[in-house]
């Protein structure tokens, strides 16, 4: 029978091989699924892996979808590497959007372009504030950050709902729950015309570099991760776990809040109850699939976005149900988690002996 | 005094009000049962130290499994069994991954949630327009005829009473039997249990399967009894509330039941108040269960000794027998 | 005794990847082959739905109309639909994709698509866009809506007679003028046959959430309502009424099957007449922008499957109302109409115009509670 045997040290090859194998497994299962549904599997794969890449417009849309995932996942990577499990990035995203929206609503036709900066900063601050609640509760009360941050997601949704149904509702909007559209001057600048890609992409790529430098080239980044990997050793060396906690949560909260600002002052252009779009949860998967490594996260963000957009296209062009996206994303993560075992363990055939 | 049909109006109005409160209690019991069953399943998971964030996905898959079973067989019992089966199966997959392969519990749970939401929607497409055979209205003979009290407590689905009986049985099992002690010790200190010769992994795996089956029962209850139709996403976050509930109730079965009625009652209360003309911002009421959970979490975690007494010590940590 | 060889696994993985890539590339080439048919290209028509086709309510009604459209025009058109497109940033991408796929007429079936559609319409001037329940138009984008309040009025007439507690209940979605108007019209219809009725309202703040709709319906029934109406999109309210032994109406689509004992009638929307007109105009090159608001007169609204135990005089009244709406002799919103506070909102014999109807934010007398915010 097959037995799992711990490796003396983690396998480098499988560290890179595991995501690839997971992707292959997902694709294979996907082909099986298409065939079961009576759809052309090759065309199905095209929807997911070719269509989102095939033109400049398509790539632009891919970036529009990938940028928020990328930014949030970068923050989460720092967080998870510090052994702080922030599951509530979605809530931090929403509060960041709310804060950014609040500032954007202050603008009128006379306001200058500087307001964009204010909007973005408000978003970051909002996300940080929301994450700070979790950090404070853990710091002062030892409250489990997973449960607290998760609960705060729902509270954040309620805060947004209260604002768009109430005080911030557009008076000229026929009583629909939404704020007025933000003035054009608050719009996050686009990178180029003809595409919805915004400067958020630049921010994201800068973030990738910054996180990479922080994690792998600075002392404080090292300290941060030791706290995550070996808490007792960290304590012995005098590294402050409290500092690590706050840094981790503020970073990921700020990243999520920034993304909220970019979305709301970008493609959406107003606050509506539909802002919570699951990016905060999807980013957890993106971070994981990208191995909590900034460069890996770039690839996994693109991959997840391909799944999203491919799912939409599969629906409109092949009549496949929308739910197929969630199935694929879940399968990918499952396969990855399973394949990851091979990094730390190897499979051995054990004959005879029980 | 103004009269209507011989009864003073004021009295008639008060009777009507009392009647509506009795019905509110009945609706709360019903809503709370859904949460209680799921939370009790998650409790068993967490008592052995495993956190399953995939509750929502499991409940949805069980809901479609149960609904489909009733559509095809006409039997509610088949629906419940199918739901429990789906939950146990997904629990088993989860168990193999986190217990035997040692994968990260939170990520695996999230994957299960994501997958379960999509998969149930997928599978359920052909069932969206289906209807179930007419639902039976249950009531306990004699007791149901007691004015007010009868309407409040004795016109419920058998599972509502079943879950109360289950809680009593669970308390007895966990705290008065040897097996229950072993279960709890696996959650408190898997190393000690392992040293004593218990197969920690097998006990955890069984617990996760049983927990999954209960989540499944709750999911089936939703689609077969509570809102007898299938629509994707119909669990609508109850899985996450159940997770919160387990923590809110500090991992004690009786508190879970009470907390479930409390949480379940919030939405009903909100609508009841609206019907009475009372205007409360609905978002505030909806946020209450989550805020309450955070407060409780902060309070019980504050004192490390308190937490040790309440929370299973090995919660969330994988166990590897060093054999 | 075999050990899974890392090297061989990686090799297999690499080969599979290359094979998969080759397959995909080959498949792509197939797509590039020229299309065969030389006869007139069918007109491509696309629909974007906010909910699932199987919701049994709003989206279901649109999709049924789409099928009618196919029957009407046969192979002169080809229809596609995309369902569950949220009213968010994703919407724009969906519309753009449909536009790039050669669709010449695109329908967006919910209010929240307004701004995305405007943006896509601006970039695709040769495509005709139709937006349901919106209020902004462009040269190539027009709006259409249905006078659901006419259905609500007829339901009210039936409800007023069938209620034994003189308390009606409405499970309402979002407090926009359309929904408030329907609550009012339902009450007015009931009062026309039974001046003593009161209407209670529960707002769930969503269009589609069956468990919440069930809870809201339960709360209304617990509060004394014995006839329910809804402005939400699923059959949960009717099913709850069935379970609890009360009566209710179907909404948007015929929901008789979901609650045979409880069902009093369904206020349905029939989008087919409008869709047929629209696509017909597109085919004939006669499409122009504008705003349409169709009701019983144009065949867009109807009250169907009225229950057999409804008294004949009420059934006759409903038929009279339909006839009156068709020939214009009957006006629902004709004064005197009194608000909750007792003050007149519409003077005697004054007929409300569409502008008035579109901005209703008050409750009429007989409706309990306050309009949210």
CB contact under 8 A, B118 and A329: yes
| Backbone angles phi and psi of B315, in degrees to 5 | -55, 120
Residue among A21, A42, A312 minimizing CB distance to C23: A42
Q: A198 in helix, strand or coil?
A: strand
**Which one of C218, C225, C255, C262 would you mutate to disrupt binding with B, by most B Cβ within 10 Å of its Cβ?**
C218
Chains near B, with 3+ CB pairs < 8 A?
A, C
Alpha carbons C253 and C101: distance in angstroms, whole number? 31
- CA C316 to chain CA centroid, nearest Å: 27
Burial C340-349 (b: 16+ CB within 10 A, else e): beeeebbeee
Q: Which residues of A touch C115 (CB under 8 A)?
A: 181, 269
**Which one of A10, A18, A143 would you mutate to disrupt binding with B, by most B Cβ within 10 Å of its Cβ?**
A143
CB contact under 8 A, A147 and B114: no
Q: Does B250 touch chain A (CB under 8 A)?
A: no
What pLDDT, on a 0 to 100 scale, did the predictor assign at position A2?
66
pLDDT > 90? residue C198: yes
How big is the CA angle at B208 (ends B203 and B214), to the nearest 5 degrees? 130
Omega within 30 of 0 (cis) for the link into C336: yes
Q: Which residues of B touch C199 (CB under 8 A)?
A: none
pLDDT confidence of B320, banded at 50, 70, 90?
low
In a domain, B287, yes or no: no
Strand partners, C81: C47
pLDDT > 90? residue C144: yes
What pLDDT, on a 0 to 100 scale, did the predictor assign at position B11?
58
In a domain, B307, yes or no: no
In a domain, B291, yes or no: no
Instruction: Write the pLDDT tens digit of every residue in C28-61.
Output: 433 434 444 455 789 999 999 988 887 777 888 9
A280-319 residues touching B, CB cutoff 8 A: 281, 284-285, 288
**Which one of C215, C220, C255, C256 would you mutate to disrupt binding with B, by most B Cβ within 10 Å of its Cβ?**
C215
Residue among A150, A323, A337 minimizing CB distance to B121: A323
Q: Does C86 touch chain A (CB under 8 A)?
A: yes
Q: Which residues of A touch C92 (CB under 8 A)?
A: 196, 267
Q: How far apart are the first and last CA of chain A?
A: 8
Return the H-helix or E-strand segment holding B243. helix B238-248
Alpha carbons C363 and A306: distance in angstroms, whole number? 48
Q: Which residue has the higher pLDDT, A129 or A230?
A: A129
What pLDDT, on a 0 to 100 scale, did the predictor assign at position B6?
45
ipTM computed for the complex:
0.80
- CA B206 to chain CA centroid, nearest Å: 19
pLDDT > 80? residue A18: yes
Containing domain of residue B131, as a range? 26-237
Alpha carbons A57 and A54: distance in angstroms, whole number? 8
- Closest to A259 in 3D by CA, of A60, A57, A66, A52: A66
pLDDT confidence of B12, banded at 50, 70, 90?
low
Instruction: Write the pLDDT tens digit of every residue in C178-193.
Output: 999 999 999 999 999 9
In a domain, A330, yes or no: no
Instruction: Write the pLDDT tens digit of every residue in B152-191.
Output: 888 888 889 999 999 999 999 999 999 999 998 888 888 8
In a domain, A58, yes or no: no
Half-sphere exposure of B276 (CA within 13 A, CB side): 16
Instruction: Write the pLDDT tens digit of every residue in C103-140.
Output: 999 999 998 899 899 999 999 999 999 999 888 899 99
What pLDDT, on a 0 to 100 scale, did the predictor assign at position A130?
97
CB contact under 8 A, C13 and A274: no
pTM of the predicted structure, to 2 decimals: 0.83
Q: Which residues of A touch C176 (CB under 8 A)?
A: 174-176
From A262, which residue of chain C is nearest by alpha-carbon distance? C89
C26-45 residues touching A, CB cutoff 8 A: 26-28, 31
**Order of strands, sheet of C141-146, starting from the edge strand that comes earlier in the sequence:** C77-82, C43-48, C105-108, C128-132, C141-146, C291-294
Residue among B97, B107, B283 minimizing CB distance to A288: B107
> Tokens 């409040």 label which residue?
B152
Q: Does A322 touch chain B (CB under 8 A)?
A: yes
Question: B314: buried, middle or exposed (CB in 10 Å: 19+, 13-18, 0-12)?
Answer: buried
Residue among B117, B237, B240 minimizing CB distance to A326: B117
Q: Does B279 touch chain C (CB under 8 A)?
A: yes
CB contact under 8 A, B110 and A284: yes
What pLDDT, on a 0 to 100 scale, did the predictor assign at position B323?
42
What pLDDT, on a 0 to 100 scale, did the predictor assign at position C15?
52
Question: Cβ contacts of residue C195 below 8 Å, gap of 6+?
Answer: none
Q: Does C54 touch chain B (CB under 8 A)?
A: yes
Q: Does C233 touch chain B (CB under 8 A)?
A: no
From A345, which residue of chain B is nearest by alpha-carbon distance? B101
From C360, which residue of chain A is nearest by alpha-carbon distance? A174
Instruction: Write the pLDDT tens digit of every residue in B261-318.
Output: 988 888 788 888 877 777 777 778 778 878 888 888 788 777 777 666 777 777 777 7
Alpha carbons C216 and C172: distance in angstroms, whole number? 9
**Which one of A39, A337, A343, A350 would you mutate to disrupt binding with B, by most B Cβ within 10 Å of its Cβ?**
A337
CATH code: domain C43-146+272-298 is: 3.40.50.2300
Alpha carbons A316 and C46: distance in angstroms, whole number? 9
CB contact under 8 A, B243 and A284: no
In a domain, A299, yes or no: no
Number of domains in chain B: 1
CB contact under 8 A, C10 and A46: no
In a domain, A37, yes or no: no
Most confident region among A35-44, A67-76, C336-345 by mean pLDDT: A67-76
In a domain, A231, yes or no: yes
Half-sphere exposure of C237 (CA within 13 A, CB side): 38
What pLDDT, on a 0 to 100 scale, did the predictor assign at position B1?
45
In a domain, B285, yes or no: no
Q: B4 in helix, strand or coil?
A: strand
Q: What is the mean pLDDT of chain B?
A: 85
**Which one of C219, C221, C262, C367 would you mutate to disrupt binding with B, by most B Cβ within 10 Å of its Cβ?**
C219
Instruction: Write the pLDDT tens digit of every residue in B214-248.
Output: 999 999 999 999 888 888 778 877 888 898 888 88
Q: Does C82 touch chain A (CB under 8 A)?
A: yes
Q: Does B231 touch chain C (CB under 8 A)?
A: yes
In a domain, B284, yes or no: no
Instruction: Write the pLDDT tens digit of every residue in B77-86.
Output: 999 999 999 9
pLDDT > 90? residue C199: yes
Alpha carbons C282 and C302: distance in angstroms, whole number? 26
From B304, which residue of chain A is nearest by alpha-carbon distance? A142
Rounded CA Rg of chain B: 21
C138-197 residues touching B, CB cutoff 8 A: 169
Q: How far is A29 from chain B (nearest CA, A)?
A: 13
pLDDT confidence of C9, banded at 50, 70, 90?
very low
Question: How many helices and strands in chain C, by DSSP H and E?
Answer: 11, 14
Number of domains in chain A: 1
From A155, which residue of chain B is nearest by alpha-carbon distance? B287
Q: Does A216 touch chain B (CB under 8 A)?
A: no
Q: How far is C257 from chain A (nearest CA, A)?
A: 26
Chains near C, with 3+ CB pairs < 8 A?
A, B
Alpha carbons A305 and A302: distance in angstroms, whole number? 5
Q: Report, in this order, helix, strand and coil percent for chain A, each rounded to 5.
A: 70, 5, 25
Q: Does A242 touch chain C (CB under 8 A)?
A: no
Q: Which residues of B touch A150 (CB under 8 A)?
A: 240, 243-244
Residues in chain C: 373
pLDDT > 80? residue A228: no
Q: Does C216 touch chain B (CB under 8 A)?
A: yes
Q: A with B: how many residue pairs have Cβ under 8 Å apart?
A: 147
pLDDT > 50? residue B146: yes
CB contact under 8 A, B231 and C210: yes
Cα-Cα-Cα-Cα torsion B271, B272, B274, B279, nearest 10 degrees, comes to -100
CATH architecture of C149-268+333-358: 3-Layer(aba) Sandwich (3.40)
Chains near A, with 3+ CB pairs < 8 A?
B, C
pLDDT confidence of A75, banded at 50, 70, 90?
very high
Residue extents of the structural domains in chain C: 43-146+272-298, 149-268+333-358
Q: How far is C218 from chain B (nearest CA, A)?
A: 8
In a domain, B257, yes or no: no
Q: Which residues of A touch B115 (CB under 8 A)?
A: 326-327, 329-331, 333-334
Average pLDDT over residues C1-25: 48
CB contact under 8 A, B271 and C205: no
Instruction: Write the pLDDT tens digit of every residue in A123-137.
Output: 999 999 999 999 999
Q: How far is C339 from chain B (nearest CA, A)?
A: 17
Average pLDDT over residues B30-41: 93
- Closest to C235 in 3D by CA, of C171, C152, C143, C151: C171
Can you point out the beta strands (E) in C97-242? 105-108, 128-132, 141-146, 167-172, 198-203, 227-230
Containing domain of residue A270, as a range? 69-291
Question: Cβ contacts of residue B32 below 8 Å, gap of 6+?
Answer: B257, B260, B261, B262, B263, B264, B265
Residue A71 CB coordination number (10 Å): 29
Q: Does B107 touch chain A (CB under 8 A)?
A: yes
Average pLDDT over residues B97-110: 86
């Amino acid at each position: 029978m097959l037995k799992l045997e711990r490796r003396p040290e983690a396998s480098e090859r499988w560290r890179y091989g595991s995501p690839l194998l997971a992707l292959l497994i997902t694709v294979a299962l996907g082909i099986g699924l298409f065939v079961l549904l009576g759809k052309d599997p090759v065309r199905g794969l095209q929807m997911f892996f070719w269509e989102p890449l095939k033109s400049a417009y398509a790539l632009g849309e891919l970036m529009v979808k990938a940028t928020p995932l990328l930014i949030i996942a970068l923050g989460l990577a720092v967080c998870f590497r510090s052994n702080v499990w922030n599951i509530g990035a979605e809530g931090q995203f929403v509060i960041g959007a709310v804060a950014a929206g609040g500032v954007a609503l202050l603008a009128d036709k006379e306001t200058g372009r500087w307001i964009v900066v204010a909007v973005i900063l408000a978003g970051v601050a909002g996300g940080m504030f929301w994450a700070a609640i979790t950090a404070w509760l853990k710091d002062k009360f030892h409250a489990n950050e997973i449960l607290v941050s998760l609960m705060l997601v729902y509270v954040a949704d309620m805060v947004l709902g209260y604002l768009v149904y109430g005080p911030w509702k557009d008076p000229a909007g026929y009583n629909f729950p939404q704020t007025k559209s933000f003035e054009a001057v608050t719009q996050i600048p686009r990178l180029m015309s003809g595409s919805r890609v915004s400067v958020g992409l630049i921010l994201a790529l800068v973030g990738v570099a910054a996180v990479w430098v922080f994690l792998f080239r600075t002392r404080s980044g090292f300290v941060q991760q030791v706290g995550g990997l070996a808490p007792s050793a960290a304590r012995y060396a005098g590294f402050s776990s409290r500092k690590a906690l706050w840094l981790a949560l503020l970073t990921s909260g700020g990243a999520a809040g920034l993304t909220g600002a970019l979305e709301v002052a970008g493609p959406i252009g107003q606050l509506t109850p539909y802002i919570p779009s699951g990016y905060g949860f999807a980013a957890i998967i993106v971070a994981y699939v990208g191995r909590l490594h900034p460069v890996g996260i770039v690839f996994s963000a693109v991959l997840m976005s391909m799944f999203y957009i491919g799912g939409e296209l599969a629906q409109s062009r092949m009549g496949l149900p929308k739910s197929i996206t969630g199935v694929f994303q879940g399968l990918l993560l499952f396969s990855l988690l399973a394949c990851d075992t091979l990094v730390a363990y190897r499979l051995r055939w054990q004959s005879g002996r029980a | 005094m103004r009269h209507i049909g011989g009864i003073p109006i004021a009295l008639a109005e008060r009777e009507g009000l009392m009647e509506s409160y009795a019905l509110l209690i009945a609706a709360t019991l019903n809503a709370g049962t859904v949460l209680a069953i799921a939370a009790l399943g998650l409790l068993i998971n967490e008592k052995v130290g495993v956190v399953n964030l995939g509750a929502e996905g499991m409940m949805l898959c069980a809901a479609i499994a149960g609904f489909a079973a009733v559509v095809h067989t006409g039997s509610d019992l088949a629906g419940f069994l199918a739901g429990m089966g789906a939950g146990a199966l997904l629990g088993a997959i989860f168990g193999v991954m986190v217990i035997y392969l040692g994968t990260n519990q939170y990520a695996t749970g999230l994957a299960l949630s994501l997958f379960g939401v999509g998969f149930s929607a997928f599978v359920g497409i052909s069932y969206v327009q289906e209807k179930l055979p007419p639902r039976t209205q249950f009531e306990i003979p004699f007791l149901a005829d007691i004015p007010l009290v009868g309407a409040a407590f004795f016109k419920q689905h058998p599972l509502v009473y079943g879950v109360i009986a289950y809680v009593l049985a669970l308390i007895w099992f966990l705290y008065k039997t040897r097996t229950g002690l072993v279960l709890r010790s696996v959650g408190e200190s898997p190393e000690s249990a392992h040293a004593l010769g218990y197969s920690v992994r097998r006990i955890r795996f069984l617990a996760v399967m049983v927990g999954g089956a209960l989540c499944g029962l709750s999911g089936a209850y939703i689609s077969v009894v509570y809102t007898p139709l299938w629509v994707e996403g119909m669990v609508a976050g109850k899985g996450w509330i159940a997770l919160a509930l387990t923590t809110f109730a500090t991992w004690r079965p009786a508190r879970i039941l009470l907390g479930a009625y409390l949480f379940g009652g919030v939405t009903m209360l909100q609508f009841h108040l609206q019907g009475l003309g009372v205007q409360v911002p609905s978002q505030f009421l909806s946020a209450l269960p989550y805020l309450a959970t955070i407060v409780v979490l902060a309070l019980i975690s504050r004192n490390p000794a308190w937490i040790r007494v309440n929370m299973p010590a090995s919660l969330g940590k994988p166990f590897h027998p060093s054999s | 005794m075999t050990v899974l060889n890392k090297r061989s696994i990686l090799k297999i993985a690499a080969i599979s990847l290359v094979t998969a890539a080759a397959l995909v590339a080959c498949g792509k080439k197939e797509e590039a082959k020229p299309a065969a048919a030389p006869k007139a290209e069918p007109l491509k028509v696309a629909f974007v739905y906010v909910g699932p086709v199987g919701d049994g309510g709003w989206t279901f009604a649109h999709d049924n109309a789409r099928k009618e459209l196919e029957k009407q025009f046969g192979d002169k058109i080809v229809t596609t639909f995309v369902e569950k497109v949220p009213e968010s940033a994703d919407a724009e991408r969906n519309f753009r994709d449909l536009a790039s796929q050669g669709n010449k007429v695109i329908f967006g079936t919910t209010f929240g698509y307004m701004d995305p559609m405007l943006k896509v319409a601006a970039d695709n001037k040769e495509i005709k866009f139709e937006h349901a329940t919106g209020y902004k138009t462009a040269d190539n984008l027009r709006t259409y809506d249905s006078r659901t309040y006419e259905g609500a009025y007829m339901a009210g007439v039936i409800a007023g007679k069938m209620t034994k507690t003189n308390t009606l209940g409405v499970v309402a979605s979002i407090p926009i003028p359309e929904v408030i108007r329907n609550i009012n019209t339902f009450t007015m219809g009931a009062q026309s046959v039974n001046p003593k009725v009161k209407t209670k309202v529960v707002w769930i703040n969503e269009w589609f959430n069956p468990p919440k709709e069930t809870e809201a319906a339960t709360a209304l029934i617990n509060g004394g309502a014995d006839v329910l109406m809804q402005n939400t999109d699923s059959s949960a309210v009717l099913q709850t009424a069935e379970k609890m032994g009360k009566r209710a109406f179907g909404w948007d689509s015929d929901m008789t099957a979901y609650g045979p004992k409880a069902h009093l009638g369904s206020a349905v929307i029939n989008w087919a007449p409008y869709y047929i007109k629209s696509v017909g105009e597109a085919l004939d090159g006669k499409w122009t922008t504008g705003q349409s608001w169709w009701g019983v007169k144009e065949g867009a609204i109807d009250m169907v499957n009225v229950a057999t135990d409804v008294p004949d005089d009420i059934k006759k009244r409903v038929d009279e109302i339909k006839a009156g709406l068709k020939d214009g002799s009957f006006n629902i919103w004709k004064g005197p109409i009194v608000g909750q506070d007792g003050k007149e909102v519409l003077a005697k014999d004054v007929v409300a115009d569409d502008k008035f109807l579109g901005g209703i934010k008050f409750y009429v007398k007989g409706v309990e509670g306050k309009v949210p915010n």
